[in-house]
Structure 1
Amino acid sequence: MGIDNDVEQLSELTLEGRLHQRKAISVFGMGGLGKTTVVKEVYKRVKTRFDCYSWVSMSPSHNLMDVLRNVLFRFKASKGEPAMDAIYEGQLQERTYHYLQDKNYLF
């Protein structure tokens, strides 16, 4: 079956009211239904409407530092900004928070 209708609905939901508040959208269901395919397509379509964006895949055994480093790196790369130096976890969380504080972002 096609995914166009799902992609369109999720795109509208993603962009709706994005300037006024933070929003988290969960996409869930049984494995093999195409959730990742739909979300990736929405991400590709709407990402340029945000100040910065980041797509990060996580494994069940993820390392928080690696995930945070990857998130911040990809946010900065989406704006053509240089990567940061090696920093410890507390600094990484703080830098990510401050970097995103006044931005409209897609993650």
Structure 2
Amino acid sequence: ELVGIKGPRDCIIKLLTYEADSGPSRQQLKVVSIVGCGGLGKTTLANQVYKEINGQFDCKAFVSMSQKPDMRKILMDLLSQILGNGSPMCFDEQRLIVKLREFLKDK
């Protein structure tokens, strides 16, 4: 286990999986941002959270962002993970967004 990660990991897991009033929540969209200077372990922390709770969800993906993100690559990575298909897609950004929306609309 990584030193010093348990507290922040558990805090983020709680933010993502519990409603303030009613306990466990799976119906509401939630976003938690992890921000800070480079090299602090943000990606490692996010990856630990993902590994801990990804079994609770039918649809899941993990992408890491850089300071200058390549949106087409990020969208292709997302689609590849949620569709369970490793083949590259030859679509532009707009088409990738449409495909992602189509897949997620009933989730």
6, 11, 14: which one aligns with 2:13: 11
Q: Is the 8 A contact 1:69 1:92 kept in 2?
A: yes
TM-score (norm 1): 0.75
* SS class of match (1:53): coil
Residue of structure 2 in register with 1:43 after alignment: 50
Unpaired runs of 5+ in structure 2? 20-24
What is the alpha-carbon distance in structure 2 between the residues aligned to residue 28 and residue 58 of structure 1?
11
Residues 1-107 of structure 1: matches in 2 within 5 Å? 1-17=3-19, 18-77=25-84, 83=87, 85-103=89-107
TM-score (norm 2): 0.75
Root-mean-square deviation (CA, aligned residues, Å) is 2.2
What is the alpha-carbon distance in structure 2 between the residues aligned to residue 99 and residue 92 of structure 1?
11
What is the alpha-carbon distance in structure 2 between the residues aligned to residue 36 and residue 82 of structure 1?
22
Over 3 Å counting, the alpha-carbon distance change for 1:89 and 1:32 in structure 2 is closer
Q: Percent identity?
A: 31
Q: Is the 8 A contact 2:43 2:64 kept in 1?
A: no
Unpaired runs of 5+ in structure 1? none
Using the TM superposition, name which of 88-97 and 38-47 deviates more: 88-97
Q: Is the 8 A contact 1:68 1:93 kept in 2?
A: yes
1:6 counterpart letter in structure 2? P
Bigger relative contact order, structure 1 or 2 (CA pairs below 8 A, ≥6 apart): 1
Report how many residues are paired: 100
Task: Compute the displacement of 1:83 (Å).
Answer: 4.9
